[in-house]
Amino acid sequence: MPFKNVIAQKEIKNHLVEMVQHNRLSHALLFLGNEGSGALSLAIAFAQYIVCEKIFPQQPKEQSLFGLEEPQTTNYKPQTDSCGICPSCIKAQQLIHPDIHFSYPVIPKKSGDKPISTDYISEWREFVSQYPYGNSYDWLQFIGAENKQGNITANECNDIIRKLNLKSFESGYKILIMWMPEYLGNEGNKLLKLIEEPPPNTLFILVAENESLILQTILSRTQLVKIPLLDTSNIEQALIERAKIAPEKARQIASISEGNYREAIQLLQHAEEDWQGLLRDWLNAILKTGPTAQVKWIDDVSKLGRERQKQFLRYFNHLLEQAIRLKVMDEHQVNIPDNEKDFAIRLNKIADISQQQAIIEELDKAAYYIERNAHAKMLFHALTIKLYHIVAHKTVAVVN
């Protein structure tokens, strides 16, 4: 995909182009960005930019992108995006360019298998086409992992070494995009020599969400490109233009998504969910109707599935944030739908700002544990008890 198809991130796009134009590109880049920021899309767009025939019309036999004091620019045309129409761009867009390789977590297809990324290349192309802002959970479910743990294996490392030691086929550059290097264990040390002393015109792009889970030996050999969260206005505009939804609905979803376009798409898919009704039942069970209602509610919410549970907690957080804004700002300055404003006002009757902040912290922790496959019933049971104790000393206000 060209840069223009990546949502916002103008500063990062300009930075990447300038690194190429001024020969300041490292052999190994780390694109570090939270879920839904577009880090993978940026990496694919950057790879397409590098192989675009309008950027480099001929194979650069002596030309390099990597820090020459006197760059060879005879064939160089300073464009800020790939053309999208040359043969190389078309192949890159279809993820079939022979000089752009991909590595990502996979699972064995059957017992005893030693899988590599290439085994799943058809699924990968389909996944990126359908879910360019998807996360590792989406990918592993897409390939039928269910509860299996994905990995980037030692066999995969050997295959990377083999592929990158071959001559380039068309562009003159060889590019490896490794998505989620957090799934690469100690076997990743096999790649150190290749990263330190790569063949000519070879580029590694690691695309990650959590820096602390990447092997330190690999991390120290990369140049960091930090991908910021998307602005709410960027997500709102993308939803209007790409998802073709009404501006008011786009604004509401964008405000809840917290800079995460993947989350915005998930919320859109479940836009008809009655999160307020579910939250109303929970608060009434906590504050009024007692243990029997709590047990029933916990049983119901545990059946929703991990993604919907996270969305529910995120929605509760959103309402709490709106409640805090209503307390510290003039009510007329808080631009939210009437039904949300009414619910936020009721939340202010239940808890003060310090209690609301405590609840937000607990909800964030719960979302974190859900992401890591916590037992849903145990988690929501514990969360119900914590929320009761946070608000217990306040006068109970039933949420109607």
3-228 and 273-391 share one CATH topology? no
> At residue 399, does pLDDT exceed 80?
no
Using 50, 70 and 90 to split pLDDT, how confident is the model at 272?
Answer: low
> At residue 71, does pLDDT exceed 60?
no
- For domain 3-228, give its CATH number from 3.40.50.720, 3.40.50.300, 3.50.50.100, 3.40.50.1220: 3.40.50.300
| Share above pLDDT 70 across residues of the chain, in percent, rounded to a whole number | 90
> At residue 303, does pLDDT exceed 60?
yes
Cβ contact 298:384 at 8 Å: yes
Averaged pLDDT for residues 237-242: 94
> At residue 7, does pLDDT exceed 50?
yes
Averaged pLDDT for residues 92-103: 96
How far apart CA 20 and CA 11 sit, in angstroms, is 15
Averaged pLDDT for residues 303-312: 86
Predicted pLDDT of residue 73: 44
Cβ contact 179:103 at 8 Å: yes
Taking the model in full, what pTM does it have? 0.76
Closest CA to 230 of 262, 207, 252, 266: 262
Predicted pLDDT of residue 330: 66
> At residue 18, does pLDDT exceed 80?
yes
> At residue 299, does pLDDT exceed 60?
yes
Cβ contact 2:81 at 8 Å: yes
Predicted pLDDT of residue 66: 61
Residues contacting 85, CB < 8 A, separation 6+? none
| Share above pLDDT 90 across residues of the chain, in percent, rounded to a whole number | 56
Predicted pLDDT of residue 59: 43
Q: Mean pLDDT, the chain, as a whole number?
A: 87
**CATH code for the part of the protein at 273-391:** 1.20.272
Averaged pLDDT for residues 105-122: 91
How far apart CA 198 and CA 163 sit, in angstroms, is 12
Predicted pLDDT of residue 70: 43
How is the chain split into domains, by residue range?
A: 3-228, 233-267, 273-391
Predicted pLDDT of residue 192: 93
Query: Which tops the pLDDT comparison, 98 or 25?
Result: 98
Using 50, 70 and 90 to split pLDDT, how confident is the model at 288?
Answer: confident
Averaged pLDDT for residues 118-145: 93
How far apart CA 266 and CA 20 sit, in angstroms, is 35
> At residue 67, does pLDDT exceed 70?
no
Each residue's pLDDT tens digit, 32-49: 999 999 999 999 999 999
Predicted pLDDT of residue 393: 63
Predicted pLDDT of residue 74: 45
Using 50, 70 and 90 to split pLDDT, how confident is the model at 62?
Answer: very low
Closest CA to 345 of 320, 315, 311: 320
Torsion of CA 237, 240, 243, 244, to 10 degrees: -160
Each residue's pLDDT tens digit, 313-363: 988 988 898 888 888 876 666 666 677 888 888 898 888 899 999 999 999
